[in-house]
Amino acid sequence: MRASLPLAGLLLALGLPFSGCDSVGADDVPCTACASGDSDLPGSHPESGGSDAGDDGSSAGEDSDGESGGDLPGGSTDDVIPVDPRQTYTRTWKDDALDAPAILLAEYGVAPGDVVCGRAVGDFYTEPGVLASSRGYPLITAVFSSSDVLLPSDERDRVKGAIDTDDDVVTLATATDGLETDVAEDVDATDGCITVPDGARYVFLAAYDTFYADNSDALADGQSFGLSLKK
């Protein structure tokens, strides 16, 4: 067992994948093990054995935190990166969108070559009364970068140090005037694992949308919108 039962229970209680992500050794492994709550890896179920944890495993709701990063903002003891649903690194037009902040990977203990798994938590309203998760689109996209520079919102290639990865997510044209927003380097971060590319020091995250000013956090199940991160 690599983790204590309270942690396992906590992750499961949050609906987060517990096993698989931190044991992926190969590049570009599909993240089915991460996405599935009932992976067949040993130790993934707190109710199946686990007598080595030293307690009765019934304390799923307590605040014990077996990992570093427990003090990060986001209201969780896991590494959840908050994502304002109005933020993006893509081009916007006639839209009061917010600039996506540059997130220092080292702050989350992530370095090039690491396999990290991300999963959107919470939900947002893509317009009043419409949950983003109801659309069948990605929820969060990401782009790695060598620098923290984000160019003005009317430029298409805003992430100056963007670093390409194998996968691409196609972002949609702006709601107003239909300007193209898609760039080559970004990926769908809604639910999957990726190898952090060489040279990456930062990551930018965006809610997936065509118009950002009317977005708001849905606080689904009391959870702020964000990206749950596991190494």
Which x/- pattern, by CB under 5 A, does the window 74-113 give for Ca ion?
A: ----------------------------------------
Residue 216, both tokens? 């708001």
Give the CA dihedral 87, 144, 123, 175, nearest 10 degrees. 50
Options 126, 174, 224, 228; binder of Ca ion; rule CB under 5 A: 126
Q: Which of residues 179-208 bind Ca ion (CB under 5 A)?
A: 182, 186
Which residue number, 108 or 211, has a Cβ lying nearer to Ca ion?
211
Which residue number, 25 or 128, has a Cβ lying nearer to Ca ion?
128
Tell me the residue ranges of DSSP E strands in the chain: 79-82, 87-88, 98-99, 103-104, 115-121, 124-127, 130-131, 140-145, 162-163, 187-188, 191-195, 202-207, 216-217, 226-230
Options 18, 89, 108, 211; binder of Ca ion; rule CB under 5 A: 211
Task: Count Cα neighbours of 136 within 13 Å in the Cβ-side half-sphere.
Answer: 0
Which residue number, 11 or 227, has a Cβ lying nearer to Ca ion?
227
Is 168 near Ca ion (CB under 5 A)? yes
Amino acid letter, 181: T
Where do contacts with Ca ion occur on this chain (CB under 5 A)? 126, 168, 182, 186, 209, 211, 214-215
